[in-house]
Structure 1
């Protein structure tokens, strides 16, 4: 997105040399700042704009990390192959052994082409496609093990494999938006990919704009308990046994809650269509 496009979308914004106050969102672009009053923005807009215009607290040496320049500044990169980008947010303890953590990452990922932090807690792994690439479940285990070893907490978005061509930086930008938007709503999963969030990400605006959905949501009273049941059922693809284990709830008790909900609403959480609808209602 160019500064001209920003001005078109946000005519109340100002271009200035320095950051704005704490009440303003300051977006770095072309050596200056585009400053917007946060009171005029929704929280989702703020997150999205921050992901599109990240302020790099780290100096990244582009001679050592040419992928950084390629992805963020569209600097030409003479490389061939198919790659995926694993974005991560790392919550560190006070005494974090960062160099040891980075060494572990390099040892774990044999097909790693580049790896860098772009801020205090955010970074990216660029992995070349090989037949032995890690699947989502394996990556989740890897990050959980690292968190246990280093007393950290990692949230990771596993990007798709794409050819390294002129389109990849734009695809990465969209994956950044998805990660920033869905990291909180995903709930219960610290490592996820596009299929995990595609339904929610691409339908939430339509759900929010539908008068039918808004009216239905107001009429449908969802207690915190039934919301937890809906989320657990969604994570377990509607499997009752797995859901009851997740919730530490007896299988018969869960059946009773589901039947009660059906009597009250006419929605059966045992049917995937009804479960999808209820999931979207509570995550919109």
Structure 2
């Protein structure tokens, strides 16, 4: 399928351009161009056709760098230092023509031998063998680059792994966490989201937890109270400071929740259960 045929079959399609906010569309990559087609203009049969084109295009993806080939299952593990970590940078509002310059500027903060590749259109992966830049330094790096390019980036800092580990499987799991966290804080670490990610994977089908979350949501104080208490290990005084609320107010709400559900937030067992319901 060529660009010319796309234009014939889908005259309302945009090539490497975006629709106005609120217009739902589907995306398809053809000949290194990003095609966007309004969803309302497509019949069910056309949607199936586009899905087949997508699958066909995915089979033709070329993995060029040694790390990219290895991590996506098509190559040997490259030589590297004894330890490394992966940095997952998801960038939005960046023109296609600027991607190379944006990537080059990002890499100036690392050594000349640092490997990087685009895992998908908006996600750059850096194989960081130095593992020396702190969260604060990486945050400053993103602020600088986003300011120069008027872009919006999110970074997940992967864990430090030894080279002998199963890096391919670990990379895939961290990428799932990066997808889970990309709409959250600008710079985060895997531990920042590990609890939410793994508990979400576990409890999303739990009727017990879903029902309790709904009941907590009906109380205007419950969720914030549970979250604040859990983050300080159940310490009421610290939670009151974090919430800018009087300790007596929190004590009253704890008792109120206990009377309502027979759950005592002063007990770490009950508090942990309540936290599982709201994450």
TM-score by length of 2: 0.62
For residue 124 of structure 1, report the CA deviation from its aligned partner: 0.4
Match for residue 22 of structure 1?
47
Q: Which runs of 5+ in 2 are unaligned?
A: 1-44
Which of the two has higher C-alpha Rg?
A: 2
In 2 relative to 1, CA 90–271 (structure 1 residues): closer, same or farther, beyond 3 Å? Answer: farther
Superposed CA RMSD:
4.1
Matched, 1:280 2:249: no
For residue 197 of structure 1, report the CA deviation from its aligned partner: 1.9
Pairing partner for 1:265 from 239, 254, 257: 257
Alignment of 1:55-204 (within 5 A): 55=58, 62=64, 65-81=65-81, 82-93=83-94, 97-110=98-111, 113-129=114-130, 133-165=132-164, 167-184=166-183, 187=184, 189-204=185-200
Match for residue 50 of structure 1?
none
Tell me the number of residue pairs that the alignment of Structure 1 and Structure 2 aligns.
Answer: 227
- Cα contact 2:217–2:223 (8 A) shared by 1: no
Measured in 2, the distance between the counterparts of 1:243 and 1:57 equals 52
TM-score by length of 1: 0.61
- Cα contact 1:106–1:112 (8 A) shared by 2: no
- 1:156-196 CA-to-partner distances (Å, cap 9, x unmatched) read 22112223357211221121122223434xx3x22222211
- Cα contact 2:240–2:250 (8 A) shared by 1: no
Larger RCO (CA within 8 A; separation ≥ 6): 1
In 2 relative to 1, CA 106–209 (structure 1 residues): closer, same or farther, beyond 3 Å? Answer: closer
Q: Which runs of 5+ in 1 are unaligned?
A: 1-19, 35-53, 245-250
In 2 relative to 1, CA 98–229 (structure 1 residues): closer, same or farther, beyond 3 Å? Answer: farther
For residue 135 of structure 1, report the CA deviation from its aligned partner: 2.4
Match for residue 23 of structure 2?
none
